[in-house]
Amino acid sequence: IFALLCIASGGLVYLLARWISSIYTFFNVQRCLIRDATLVGVENQYGEVELIQTVTVPFDGVVADVFPDLDRRASARAARSPALVSARQQPMTQLIMFDYRYIRFIYNPVTSLFEPNYSFADEAWTRKAHVMGGLTDAQVAQRRAIFGPNALALRTKSTMDLLAGEVLHPFYMFQVASIILWSLDDYYYYAACIFVISTVSAIQTLLETRHTMRRLQKMAYFTCPVRVRRNGTWTTVASEDVVPGDIFEVSSAHSNLVPCDAVLLAGECIVNESMLTGESVPCMRTPLNDVELRTLNFEEEEPASSARLSRFFLFNGTRMIRVRGHGDGVPSPDGALSTARPMGALGMCMRTGFNTTKGSLIRSMLFPKPNKFKFYQDSFRFIGVLFIIALIGFAASFYNFIRLHVPLTTILLRAADLITIVVPPALPATMSIGVSFAIARLRKHAIFCTSPPRVIIAGKIQMMCFDKTGTLTLEGLDVLGFRFTVPCVKPGATTAHPDHLKQLRFSELYHQEMDFPYPMIVCAMATCHSLSLVDDELIGDPLDLKMFEFTGWSIAADNAMTLATIRPRGHGKARDHIVASATPNRQVQMIVKPPTVHFSQLRPGLLPEAPKVELAVLRSFDFVSNLRRMSVIVRRVQKVGGVASDDTGEGYAMANRWFECFVKGAPEVMRQICSPASLPADYDAQLRAYAHHGYRIIACAWKRINMSTSKVYKLKRDAVENDCSFLGFIVFENKLKATTPAVVRSLRRAKIRQAMCTGDNVLTGLSVSRECGLVNPSSRIFVPRFLSPDDDWSSDAARAFEESPQSIMWEDVDGSGVPTTVAGLAPAETSLASGLDPPLFAPGSTGQYELAVTGEVFQHYLDYASEQTLARLLVKAQIFARMSPDQKHFLVERLQGLGYTVGFCGDGANDCGALKAADVGISLSEAEASVAAPLTSHSTDLECVLTTIREGRAALVTSFSCFKYMALYSLIQFTSVSLLYSQVSNLGDFQFLYIDLAIIIPVAVFMGQAEAAQTVSLKGPTATLVSKKILTSLFGQIAIQAALQVALFRWTHQQPWYAPPATDIDEKGFRSYDNTVVFLLSAFQYLIVALVFNAGRPFRAPAWRNRPFILTLGALALFNIWLTLAPSPWIRDLLELMDLPPVARFVILAAAAVDLALTWGAEEVLLPSIARAWGRLM
C-alpha cells in the first residue's frame, strides 16, 4: 500500500514519510514485543524520533557478563534475592543491539529493556590484585561483541547519499516545487537562475559537509600498537582490539597518545589534556587505590568533571608527556612475579570507542543540541501567518479571476505563485547569515564555536558566572612570602626546643628565600609538591611551580631511583643508600637540593664547612579535593661516592636515621591535623587578615617518623597526616588580569548580573571580587558559618537547631556584627539567627547587601531549604566559594531554573560540568574544540566574554533585521502582485529576476555583514518576534508600504494618459502602466526598508561603517533613479516597462521620497511610541 501511495502521489507520500517518522511507521511498522523487534523507535531528550534497525550477533556468556551492575541498581535486599542471582546467571546465546548516534544499546532480558553499555563496570574490579592478571581470550571475545572495536570511526555517507539527503530536505524540495511552478508559468529565465543557484548551493553544502566529516574523522581516528596482558602473558595488539578490562602498558614507545579511557594502576604519567578538557597545564596522573577502584561509577561521576577521578584517569587521545615505570612486579596467575614485566606504567582500559570522553566530544559535534531558541520558533509561526495572509490576498483576487473567466489551471498557478512570493525560498538561508558572519568574526578573535546556535543565545545572556583562578586572575599565583613560627620569649631568654615551646607567634613576612640553615617551611616548599622534571623543564601545577621556584632549590634526581641498604667498603656498619638499581617497593621519587650557599652572606656563627644536605622524597600522598591537602615522606641525604651501580660512581647516603613528613594544604583543614601546642596564638587573626586582602594562604606542617624503612613504605595516609607540628603560612598573591576590571565594569553597566564561582577561600574570593568591581564596594557582604550548640543564641534559634542539625548564621565580613536571617536573607537585629528564623524586616531598610556562599552551605540549601528560600539565596549571592565541580554544575542549573540565561567562563578541567550546563559556556583553552564548552577562546584574555556577548547581540539583531526585511520584501511583492492580479496582470520574468537577484540577495547578504558594536549596551535586544516592538514595527511598515503602492496605483488610474492592460493573463505579456508604476515604486521600497531595518547602535556598529551594504544600496538607488527617469530602450524592453510621461516619472520619485520619510519616521518615532503605549495598556 505504501509503495502504491508513493507512486500515485508522485513521491509526495514518500517525502512526507521521510520527514515525519510517524507516517512511515503507520504504513510499514507493526508493534511487537521489544525482544522481537527488528526496528526500534528512539526518542531522545529533545523530542527527536529516529527509527533504527536492530542487529543480532552470537554470544557465549551469561547476563552478568553484559550487565554486571544489576545488583548495584537493585535494592540491597533485592540484590541478594535468589531470583536476581538466578537471573544474573541466565545464559545469553545472542546479543540484540542497535547503535543510536554511536551509543550502543543492548537488550537486557532481565529488565526487558534496551540499555546503553557506556557505564559497564566489571564485578571483579574490586582490588588491583584481582585485575593485574589481565583478561582471557574468552573474556576478550565477549567484550569485543559487547563494545565493538576501540576506534572512533565515523560512518561516512557516499556522495549520492549526501546529495540525496541535501536535495530531499524540505527547504530544497520547496525550491524544486517552486522551480517547476515557475517553468509551468513560463518564467523560464527566473526558474533557470534559481535552479543554478540552488544547484551550486547544494554542491557547496555537500563539499562543506564532506570536508567537515573528513576533518572530524582525522581528529577522531587513530590506531597504534598496544602491549596488553592476556592469558597471563604480555602480547602486542592494535589499539582497535583493546577492550574494557584489558591491562595495558602505558608507554610512549609506540605512540604518545592514550589509546582509550583508562585508570592508572601503577607508575606515574604526565599528560597534556588541553585538547579535551581545556586544562592548559600538564597534569600528573598517579595510581588509584583499591577503594577508588571499587567505587567507580561513571553514571554518578563523570571523570572529565570530577576532581577525584581525574587524579588517576587517563583520557583517550590525550598526549603523554612523560611516563614513569611502576617498579612493581606484575603477578602471574600463580602469584609469582612475571619476568616479562614492561618498563612503562600500567593502566586498565575502562571505556572504548565512542563511550570515551573524546567520543562524547565527537558525538556532541556530530549531533549538537537542537536549537530551541524562541526566535526560531516564532519565525516559523510568523511564516504561518504570512501563509494565511497569502490565502486572504488570493481570496480577494479569486472573485476577479472568476468574473473574467480565467481558466482554473491559471487560477491554481496564480495561487501557488502567491505562496512562493509570501514564503520566499531564500528565507531560511538569510536568517542564518548573521550567525555565519558572527562566527567568522569570532574566529578572527581566536574564539572557536562548535555550536552555532549558542552565538545567538550569547546575545541574551542575563547572568555571567566566572571561575576565579586563571579566569578573573592570572593563571599562576606568585609567592608573596612566607611566615614561620617563632617562640614568644622575653629579652635575654634562651630558645627552647620547638617541641617544648609554650607559646608561638608568627615571624615577619620573608619576601625571598633564606640562606642555610633553612627554616623547616622552606624544606616543605621544596619537597611537598607534584612537580616533575621533563627534558630539563619543570612540569606540574602552577602553584607548586611558583612555590618551588621561590625557594631557589632544584631537582637533583627525578628518575625513580631506589632505596637500598649498602655496606660501604671499609666500614663495619650497614647504611641505607640510594642507588639506580631497581628493587621492588622502595622507589625514591625525587631528590631536591638547595642552591649554592654564598658564605659571605651567612649569618654570624655558621661554619662554612657545613655539610650539603639534600632531601629525598620517598613517598607522596597526592592532593585530594575532599581532604584539601597533600603530603610527602622525605629523608635527608648526602651525596657520596662508590655506592652507585651506574658508571658515575656516585650515590646518596642517609644523613640521619629518621624520616620526616611534610604536609601542606588549606589552613582550615591543616589546623585539624596539627597539635594545638604548635599553633600560634594569632593563627586565625593572621589567616583572616591575609584572606580578607585577597591573598591565598597555604599552611605547612611537619613531623618526625621514627620507623624502619619497610614500615614507612607501608604507612597509610591517615597515620602520616596527624599529630603534626605547624610550620607556618605560605602567602600567595593572585593578581588580576589586566583586562578584568574593565570587562567587569562593562558588564555591570550593561546590567548583566555577575557572580564568582571558585574553589578558593570565601574571603579570598571576596577580596578579588571587590578589587575587580564584581561586587559593589559600598555593599555589605555577609558570609555564612554553621552554628553549634555552644553558640549564645535565643531559645527560638535553639529549637530551630534541634530541627535542623546544621543551622547557619550569616556575619558581616567587615565586622559590623549584624548577622542575617537565612530564611529572609536580610540583616537581622538579633545577635544570632538560625536558618529557620523568619525575616525581621525588609532588606532595603538596612542598605544594600550581598551574600558570599560557601560550597558546604550551598549544598546544605540544596538538601534542606525550600525552593523559595533557595531562590532568595541565589538572587542575592554574588560569590560562591569552595565550590566543587558538581556544585558549580548544580549552581548553573538552579540559576537557569530561575529564568536566567546563564553564561559561564572558566579554564576547563574542573569547570567542565558548569561550562556544558550553561546556556553559553566559554572555555579559555588552546584547543579549537574541547569537551568543556561550545565556545573556546585561545586567548586567556577575559575580553573574549565581551566579544562573545557583543557578537551574539549583533547576530541576534541581524537575524531580526534580515527576517523583518524578508517579511517586508515578501509582503511588498505580494501587494504588487495582488494589485496587478486585479487587472489580470503580473510582474514580468526579468522584473522578478531583477528584484530577487539584483536587489534582495545582495542587500540581505551585506545587511548580515554589519559588525558588532564596540561596547555592550545597557539594555539587551529582544529575543522574540512576538514582542510588541517587533510586531508593531512589522505591521506598521507593511501598512505604510501597501498604502503607498495602493495610492500610486489609484493615482495612475485617474490620469488621462492611462490605458488599461490589453493583454490576457494567459498570453504572458505584462507590459502596462499598472505594471510599470508598481514595479518602479516597489524597487525603491525594497531599498528603503533595508536601510531603515539595518539599525546600527546600540547593538551593531553604525550603518555607514558597513561599506559593502552602503555601496550596494547607493548603486541600486542610482540605477532605480536612472530606470525611472531615462532608461535605455533595451533595458526598458528587457524589463517590459512602458514609456511613462515625465510627470509620472517625477511622481514615482516623489512617492519614493515620501516613502523614505514615512518609513524612517515611523520606525524611529511613531511605531516605538505605539509599542510603549500598547505595553502600558496591556
Catalytic residues: 467
Distance CA 426, CA 432 (A): 11
Distance CA 97, CA 116 (A): 9
CB atoms within 10 A of CB 56: 11
State residue 629 phi and psi, 5-degree precision: -160, 165
Distance CA 136, CA 247 (A): 11
- Contact of 971 with 1038, CB cutoff 8 Å: yes
The DSSP secondary structure of 688-708, one letter per residue, reads: HHHHHTTEEEEEEEEEEE---
Distance CA 335, CA 347 (A): 19
570 burial (CB, 10 Å; 0-12 / 13-18 / 19+) is exposed
Distance CA 55, CA 60 (A): 16
The DSSP secondary structure of 974-1038, one letter per residue, reads: HHHHHHHHTTT----HHHHHIIIIIIIHHHHHHHTTPPBPSS--SSPPP--TTSHHHHHHHHHHH
C-alpha cell of residue 350: 575502562
What is the distance in angstroms between the CA of the first residue and the CA of the last residue of the chain? 54
Place of cell 472568476: 402
Distance CA 1022, CA 1026 (A): 10
SS3 label, residue 103: strand
The DSSP secondary structure of 720-738, one letter per residue, reads: HSSSBEEEEEEEEE-PBPT
Give Cα separations from 359 to 150, 220, 921 (angstroms): 10, 8, 20
98 forms bridges with which residues in the sheet?
105
- Contact of 783 with 769, CB cutoff 8 Å: no
Residue 509 is given by DSSP the state: P
953 burial (CB, 10 Å; 0-12 / 13-18 / 19+) is buried
Q: How far is CA 1084 from the centre of its chain?
A: 46
| Nearest C-alpha neighbor of 106 from the set 164, 160, 148, 50 | 148
Residue 337 is given by DSSP the state: B
- Contact of 868 with 746, CB cutoff 8 Å: no
3-state secondary structure 885-904: HHHHHHHHHHHHHCCCCEEE
- Contact of 726 with 754, CB cutoff 8 Å: no
Q: What is the largest CA-CA distance in the chain?
A: 133
Distance CA 617, CA 387 (A): 77
C-alpha cell of residue 1136: 517590459
Residue type, 673: I
CB atoms within 10 A of CB 711: 12
SS3 label, residue 267: coil
SS3 label, residue 1103: helix
C-alpha cell of residue 789: 550548640
3-state secondary structure 777-831: CCCEEEEEEECCCCCCCCHHHHHHHHHCCCCEEEEECCCCCCCEECCCCEECCCC
Distance CA 521, CA 700 (A): 7
| Nearest C-alpha neighbor of 292 from the set 312, 270, 266 | 312
